[in-house]
Every structure is written in structure tokens, then in C-alpha cells.
Amino acid sequence: MRFPNAYKGVSRIYLAEILSLVAAILGIVSAIVVLAGAGAAATGSGGVGAGLAISGSLFLVVTAVLMLASFIINIIGVGNASEDEPAFKTAMIFIVVGILCSIIGGIFAGNEVINSIATIVSRVSEILVFWFCIKGISNLAAALGGSSVYEGADSLAKLIFGVYAVVIILTIVTAFVSLPVFLTSIISIVTSVCMIAAYFMYLSLLSRAKRMLSE
């Protein structure tokens, strides 16, 4: 094994993305449950609506815990992989940028403009983290002669960029345009579906990279 740190790091990144995938699926479920609860309340079924609202809240809590665990494991994984491949160091820089944007967004939560800009920059940082992780895997594949992983990395990066472009557009729309709760929930579901598509594409590359690095 020529790159043990990269193998350990990619394995952890893979685990982090699986947790993110589960969290995204739960996010869709919670949005659907909340919509069902709102529909039940509107038709006069208050008890049913309250029950669905509680269930939706529980799903949201579990989703938040999974996302936090995924985030921490991903940071550790990128740090491990950066010991063998410099591209992961750049990915770590954009992880830090994303964290700073989240902090700024929280501090200026009452300022709609600053909060929206922080959200958009955070989304762009997410794309760049993906990009440099893929670049790192591509570089490792080139060093190891893993042609199938190397050739698939560039095309996969373009696909992921396409998916995240949709996510950013939806984020911009919801950030600057005041929309009804129902429509916001629909957009949230569409965003989650796009995220799941990105996760599956990324997971495929990470899985192949793990096998390559383990040899």
C-alpha cells in the first residue's frame, strides 16, 4: 500500500458521504411529513396534524445529528488524505471557508443580504471541496496507474458540478425571493433530490478509489 494515509482518509470520506446520504433521505421524509401535517391541519384533523408535526421534528433532529457526524468524519478524512496528496489540503481550506460562512451567517442572521451571501459562498465552497477531493483521487490514480478511476474522475466532476449548479440556483431563489411555505417545502425536496444524486455519483468514485488504494 503506497498511500496508507490516503486510503484511511478516503475510507473516512466515504463513510461521511454515506451518513450524508442517509441524512438527505431523512430530510426528504421530514419535508413530506411536515407537508402531510400541514394538509391534515388544513382539513381540520388537528390531532393527526400535530402527530405528523412531532414526527417531522424527530426526523429533523436525527438528520441534524447525522449531518454533524458526517461533517466531523469528513474533516478527519480529508486531513488524513492530505498527508499523501496536496489537493486534499486545498479541499480543507474550502472546508474552513464553509465553516466561516456558516458562522458569519449565524452572527448576521437578521441581515438578509449578508446571510444570503454567506449561504451562497458556503454552497460554492462545498462544490470546491468536492472538486479538490476528486482532483486528489485523480492524482492518486495517476500515480498508481489506476486508469479507470483516473478517467472517470473528470467526467464525474462535471456531473457533480451540474447537480450542484441546480442546488445553488435553488438556494439563490429561496434566499432572495419570499415564497409561500408550501412552495419552499417543494423546493427543499427538489434540492434534497439533487443532493442525493450528487452523493451517489461521488460515492461511486470513492468506492472505486478505496479499492484502488487498498491494493
pLDDT, mean of each 10-residue run, the chain (215 residues): 90 91 81 66 54 66 88 95 95 94 85 81 85 90 78 73 73 70 73 71 86 86
- Is residue 167 within 8 A of residue 195, CB to CB? The reply is yes
Going from N- to C-terminal start, the domains of the chain cover 4-214
pLDDT of res. 84: 93
Instruction: Say which DSSP state 83 is in.
Output: T
- Is residue 170 within 8 A of residue 191, CB to CB? The reply is yes
pLDDT of res. 124: 84
pLDDT of res. 62: 83
φ/ψ of 104, rounded to 5, equals: -60, -45
pLDDT of res. 53: 60
pLDDT of res. 21: 81
